[in-house]
Amino acid sequence: MSVKYQRLGFRRAYGAFGTMLALFCAALAAAALLAILGYVVVQGIGAINWAFLTQLPHPVGVPGGGVGNGILGTIIVIGIATLMAVPVGLLTGIYLALFGRGAIPEALRFLSDVLSGVPSIAIGLFAYAVLVAPLKHFSAFSASFAFMMLMLPLLVRTSEQAIRSVPQTVREGALALGMSNFRATVFIVLPTARPAIITALLLAIARVTGETAPLLFTAFGSQFWEKNPNNPMAVLALQVFNYAISPYPNWQAQAWAGALLLVVAVLILSLGARLMLRNAMRGLDS
Amino acid sequence: MSTDTGFRRVARFVSPADRGFAAVVYGGSILFALLIVALFVELVIGAWPSIVAFGPSFIWKSSWDPITSKFGALPMIYGTVVTSFIGIALAAFVGIMAAVFLSDFAPRWLATPLSFLIELLAAVPSVVYGLWGLFVLSPFVRTTIGPALQHVLGWTPLFSGPIYGVGLLTAGIILALMIVPTVTAISRDVIAAIPRDLREASMALGATKWETATRVVLPAARVGIFGACILALGRALGETIAVTMVIGNRPQISASLFAPSYTLASVIANEFTEATTSIYISALIELGLILFVVSIVVNALARVMIWSVRGSR
Amino acid sequence: MRASLVRGLTTAAIVGALTLPAIAATQLTGAGSSFDYPFFSKAFYIYSQKNPDVTVNYQSIGSGGGIQQFTAKNVDFGATDVPMNAQELARAGQPVLQIPVALGGAAVAYNLPGVSQTIRLTRETIVDIYLGKVLKWNDPAIAKVNHGVNLPDMPIVVVHRSDGSGTSYIFTDFLSHVSGEWKSKVGTGKSVSWPAPSAVGAKGNEGVAGQIRSTPGAIGYVELAYVIENHMPAATLQNRAGKWVACTPENVAAAAASKPEVSATNFSIVDAPGANSYPVSGYSWVVVYKKPADAGRAKALYDVLSWLVGPSGQSNAKSVDYVPLPVNVQNAASATIRQMQR
C-alpha cells in the first residue's frame, strides 16, 4: 500500500469531513427513530381515550369502539408464552452453564442461535402445523406457542451467561456449607443471577409484544372479549395490521393509536430492562 | 470475564435430589432441542408434496398461478434478494459510519444517548414500521424520492417506469431502517474490541484520528463488521409484516426498483390462510422452508465471523 | 419487588387462563369473503346484542381462505362469493350446504386527481385495461365515451386482489363473459395471473380500496359497500343492453331480478340482460356442513343463519349498502338451512 505524502492541513480537513459524515450518519439513524416515534405519537394520541382502551371494536361504519379485547388478548397470549418459555429456557440455560463443554452443549448453543435467526413467519407455519391443523381450530394458545419459540433463544443464552457470571466463590461457598448442587443452584446461584434473567425476560417480552406475522394463522383475531386460549383471539398487533390496510379513516386512526400503544409498551419494557440491568451491575459491584 | 468452570468439577451429582435436578435440566434442554428439530421436520413434511411435484425447478420457475397449480418461487426470491440488498446497502453505510462515530469520535455524553436511541430503533415493532411505511414513506417515495431519482437516473432500467409508492425501493428503505441498529450495535462492539495499542501506534506514527479509524481500526475489525452486516441481512430476508405492507404484492420480476414485487415471507403472510388446494399450501410451506434454510446459512456465517473477532460471548 | 412484578404477571395470566370457560357463551367462528365483511360485521354485531349468549367471530380473509379453512374444519362456517365447485365439495368429504346470504356489486373504483365528473367505461375498455392494452387514462378508448372530461396523461395502475377472492372471481367472470381473449388467456378464478404490466396486488377488498385511495391513476374492483363507505368515485359501466349504469344497490337488484332462480351450481349473474342491470354483480354464499360436528354449536349456527337470511337479518343489508336478497332467494336459502341436522 503506497501512502502518498499529503499536506497535514489537507489530511486534517479530510478527517474533519469524515468525522462530520460519521456524525451525520449516527444522527440520521437517531433522527429516523425520532421521526417514526414522533409521527406515531402525533397521529395516534388523538384517538387514545378510555373507550379506545376498554371497548370492543365496532362494526364498519359505526364510529367509536376500541381495542380492549386486543389488549387483553396480547396479555393472555404473552402470559401463556412466558409460562412456557421460562422453564424451558431457564433449564436449557442452566444446562449450558453447568455442563457447558463438549459437542452437545456447543450444538445446543448453535441451535439456539439458529432459532434466533429464523423468520417469525416460518415459526408461525410451524405453530399452525402442530397446533392449528391437527386440532382443527385457530387458537390463542397456538400463538403463545409461536411466541414461546421466539422468546427462547434470548432466554437460553442470557440465562446461561447470567448463571456463569455468578462468581465461582459463591457456588463454592454454598457447596462448602454442605449444600447439594441442586440446592446451591436453586437457592444461591439462581437468585444471584435473577436480575439478569429478568432483564432477559423483559427483553424477550418486548420482542414478541409487537410481533404480528405468526398471528395471521394462529391467533387469527376476534371481535369479542375472548378469554379462552383455546379459541381465536384478538391481539393488538394483529388489529393494528388489519386496521392499517383498511380503507376506513376511522380504523386507520385506530391503527395509529394502537401502534402508539405498542410502541409505548415496547419502550417501557426495553427501558425497564436496561434500568434493571444497570441496578444489577451496581449491586454486583458493591 | 466469565468463569468457565461449571459445577461438575466442584462436585458430582450424587444425591437423589441432585440426580433429579440433573434429569430435569437435561429434560428441559432436550425439549428445547426437539422443538427446533421439529420445526425443521414439520417444514420439510409440509413442503414435501411441492418438493416432489416441482423438484428443484421450483427455485427458478417464475409462474405463480394458483388456477393451474403451477408454482415457481423465482419472483419471490428476486423480490426478497433485491429488497434485502437495498436494505443492507443503505444500512451498512449508515450503520458502520455511525458505529465509527460512536466508538472513536463521540464524546461520552453524546455517544451514550445516541447509541441508546439507535438501539431503541430495533425495539420498534415491525407492524409500526409497516404503518409508517404505508402512510408516510410510500407517498413520499411516490411524490418526492421517486421522481427525483427518476429525474437523475431515469435512463437506467432500475429507475424507469411508473412510480407506485409501494414497491421494491420503499420496502428496501424500510428494511434499512429496521436493520441499521443491528449493524450499528454489533459493529460498535467489534470496533471497541480492537486493542487500544493499535490506535495508539497509528496515532504515534502521525496518522490523524480519522485515518486511524478508517485505515487501521476498520480493516482490523472488517471480518466482524462484515459478520454484523450478514446478520442484519438475515433479519432483512425474513422480515414479514412491514414488507408485506409496502411491497405491492405482485409476483413479477421487474428491473425497475419502483415496481411492486413480492417477497418469500410476504407471500406466506398473504396467501397461507386462503390457499385452497393442498399443493398450493405445500408450495407456500416450501417458500417457508427456503426462507428457513437461507436464514440458517446466513446466521451461521454471521456468527462465525462475529465470534472470530469479538469472541462468542 | 422485581419478583413480585413477575409473580403478578404470572398470576394475571393464570387467572386469565382459568376463568374462561365460566363465562363461555357459544362462540361461532366464520371466515372468508371480504365482500361480505361489512354486512356480516354489522349483522353479527346486531345479533349478539339481541342474543348475548351467542357471538359470531367473522374474519375477513378472502373467499379462497374461507373455503380452505372450512374444509380444514378450522371454522364453523365459511363465506365465499363463489359456491364451492364439485372438486372442492369432494375435498370437504361430507355433505355441504351452500346458502346465498348477500347480494352485492363490485364497483370499478378509480383515483383520478382533478377529475370531478364520473368516468364512463365500456365493457371492452375494462377488459383492455386489465389485459394491459389500454395503458393511459387519456387513451382514445376512454376519451371516446367521456366527452368533456379532462382526462390526464397518466399511466393506469391496475389494482387487483393478492388473496384468493370471490370478488376477483365475479370480476374475472364478467371479463370472461365480455372477451374471448380474456377467457382463453387468463380465465375466471378466485386467483388469476394478472396480465397487465403495471399492476399492484392488495389484500382484501379493504386493501384494494386502500391502495386505490393512495395511488393516483389507480383503478380497481371493490365491493360496492367499501366504495360508498369511503366516498370513492366509481365508474359508470355500459351493460349488455348498452345502457350506462352506475354501481348502485338498485342496479345490482335489477341484475339479480333478471335471474330469479339461483343455485350453487348456477349462480352467475354477471353481464346480465336488462336495461338497469349492473354487469358486475353477484351473490355471496355461506357454506356449512349438513351435519356439523358439534351438536351444541349446530343449534346456534342454525339460529344465526336462519336469522341472517330472513327479513330481520337482511334488513341490515341496506344500512351498509348491500342489497337484500330477493324474497324468493330468501325462501330458498331458508329451505336449505332447514336441512341442517341440529
* Other Cβ atoms closer than 10 A to C184: 9
Chain B closest-CA separation from residue A223 CA (Å)? 18
Task: State the burial class of residue B53 (Cβ atoms within 10 Å of its Cβ: 0-12, 13-18, 19+).
Answer: middle
Nearest neighbour of B180 by CB, restricted to A29, A108, A123: A29
Query: Which of C68, C71, C75, C192 to mutate: most B Cβ within 10 Å?
Result: C68
Tell me how long chain C is: 342
Q: What is the pLDDT of residue C2?
A: 46
pLDDT in tens, B127-174: 999 999 988 998 899 889 989 999 998 888 888 887 888 899 999 999
Residue A284 has pLDDT above 80, yes or no: no
Tell me how long chain B is: 313
Beta-carbon separation of C201 and B250 below 8 A: yes
**Cα gap B261→B74, rounded to integer Å:** 11
Task: State the burial class of residue B177 (Cβ atoms within 10 Å of its Cβ: 0-12, 13-18, 19+).
Answer: buried
Chain B closest-CA separation from residue A179 CA (Å)? 10
Shortest CA distance from A217: residue in chain B: B273
Shortest CA distance from C5: residue in chain A: A198
What are the chain A neighbours of C230 within 8 Å (beta carbons)? 247-248
Beta-carbon separation of B114 and A117 below 8 A: no
Nearest neighbour of A138 by CB, restricted to C3, C23, C74: C74
Flag whether residue B214 sits within 8 Å of chain A, measured between CB atoms: yes
Flag whether residue B145 sits within 8 Å of chain A, measured between CB atoms: no
Q: Across chain B, what does the average pLDDT equal?
A: 87
Shortest CA distance from C226: residue in chain A: A247
H helix and E strand count, chain C: 15, 11
- 3-class secondary structure, B142: helix
Q: What is the pLDDT of residue C19?
A: 46
- 3-class secondary structure, B95: helix
For the segment B236-243, the average pLDDT, to the nearest whole number, is 93
Residue A242 belongs to what H/E stretch?
A: helix A236-244
Q: CA-based diameter of chain A, in Å?
A: 76
- A with C: how many residue pairs have Cβ under 8 Å apart? 118
**Cα gap A235→A71, rounded to integer Å:** 6
Beta-carbon separation of C206 and A76 below 8 A: no
Residue C295 corresponds to which cell in the numbers above? Answer: 351438536
Residue A192 has pLDDT above 90, yes or no: no
Beta-carbon separation of A247 and C2 below 8 A: no
Residue B3 has pLDDT above 50, yes or no: no
* Other Cβ atoms closer than 10 A to A183: 18
Question: Residue C281: beta bridge partners?
Answer: C105
C127-139 core/surface letters (b: 16 or more CB in 10 A; e: else) = bbbbbeebeebeb
Task: State the burial class of residue C87 (Cβ atoms within 10 Å of its Cβ: 0-12, 13-18, 19+).
Answer: exposed
Flag whether residue B135 sits within 8 Å of chain A, measured between CB atoms: yes
Flag whether residue A103 sits within 8 Å of chain B, measured between CB atoms: no
Confidence grade of residue B14 (pLDDT, cut at 50, 70, 90): low
Q: What is the ipTM of this complex?
A: 0.89
Residue C170 corresponds to which cell in the numbers above? Answer: 365475479
How far the first Cα of chain B sits from its last, in Å, is: 10
Shortest CA distance from C293: residue in chain A: A136
Compute the Cα dihedral for B121, B122, B124, B128 and give only its sign: positive
What are the chain B neighbours of A211 within 8 Å (beta carbons)? 125-126
What crossing angle do the helices spanning A120-127 and B264-271 adopt, rounded to 10°? 40
Confidence grade of residue A283 (pLDDT, cut at 50, 70, 90): low
Flag whether residue A30 sits within 8 Å of chain B, measured between CB atoms: yes
pLDDT in tens, C30-57: 988 878 888 888 898 889 888 888 888 8
Chain B positions with Cβ closer than 8 Å to C: 63-67, 134, 138-139, 142, 161-162, 164-166, 244, 248-250, 260, 262, 270-271, 273-276, 281
Using CB atoms, list chains with 3+ pairs below 8 Å to chain B: A, C
Residue A155 corresponds to which cell in the numbers above? Answer: 432466554
Answer yes or no: are the C-beta atoms of B17 and A179 closer than 8 Å: no
Residues 6+ apart with CB under 8 A from B93: A25
- 3-class secondary structure, C223: strand
What are the chain C neighbours of A132 within 8 Å (beta carbons)? 74
Beta-carbon separation of B10 and A171 below 8 A: yes
Beta-carbon separation of A152 and B35 below 8 A: yes
pLDDT in tens, A197-222: 998 999 999 999 989 999 998 998 88
For the segment C200-227, the average pLDDT, to the nearest whole number, is 86
Task: State the burial class of residue B215 (Cβ atoms within 10 Å of its Cβ: 0-12, 13-18, 19+).
Answer: middle
Using CB atoms, list chains with 3+ pairs below 8 Å to chain C: A, B
Chain C closest-CA separation from residue B188 CA (Å)? 31
Closest CA to C138 of C123, C122, C120, C156: C156
What are the chain C neighbours of B250 within 8 Å (beta carbons)? 162, 194, 199-201
**Cα gap B54→B56, rounded to integer Å:** 7
Answer yes or no: are the C-beta atoms of C165 and C190 closer than 8 Å: yes
* Other Cβ atoms closer than 10 A to B292: 27
CA B137 to chain centre: 20
For the segment C78-101, the average pLDDT, to the nearest whole number, is 90
pLDDT in tens, A111-156: 898 898 899 999 999 999 999 888 888 899 999 999 999 999 999 9
